[in-house]
C-alpha cells in the first residue's frame, strides 16, 4: 500500500465542484425576469419574507438563490 502525502490529498481553495453546472431552472427564472443570475438571487433573498413586496418567491427559489450566493463566495 502506497502512502500519499497530505499535499496530494488537499484540494485547492479555488477548486469549485459546481463550476461545470449547466444552466437550469434558476437561470431561466432570472432571464425571464430580465436580470442576471447574481442580481436575481439578491432580489429573491431580499423579497423572500417581505409582505409588502409584489414578488413572493417559493421556498425552492429561495434555496436556489442561497445556493448561488454561497457559490459566488
Show me where the domains of the chain are located: 23-71
- What lies within 8 Å, CB to CB, of 71 at 6+ separation is 16, 18
**pLDDT of res. 72:** 79
**pLDDT of res. 29:** 92
**Cβ contact 37:27 at 8 Å:** yes
Beta strands per DSSP E along the chain: none
**pLDDT of res. 45:** 95
Average pLDDT over residues 51-63: 91
**pLDDT of res. 33:** 93
CA-closest candidate to residue 44, choices 65, 24, 30: 65
Stated pTM of the model = 0.68
Amino acid at each position: 500500500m502506497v502512502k500519499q502525502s497530505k499535499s496530494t490529498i488537499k484540494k485547492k481553495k479555488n477548486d469549485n465542484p459546481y463550476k461545470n453546472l449547466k444552466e437550469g431552472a434558476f437561470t431561466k427564472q432570472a432571464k425571464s425576469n430580465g436580470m442576471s443570475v447574481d442580481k436575481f438571487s439578491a432580489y429573491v433573498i431580499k423579497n423572500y419574507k417581505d409582505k409588502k413586496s409584489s414578488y413572493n418567491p417559493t421556498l425552492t427559489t429561495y434555496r436556489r438563490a442561497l445556493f448561488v450566493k454561497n457559490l459566488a463566495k
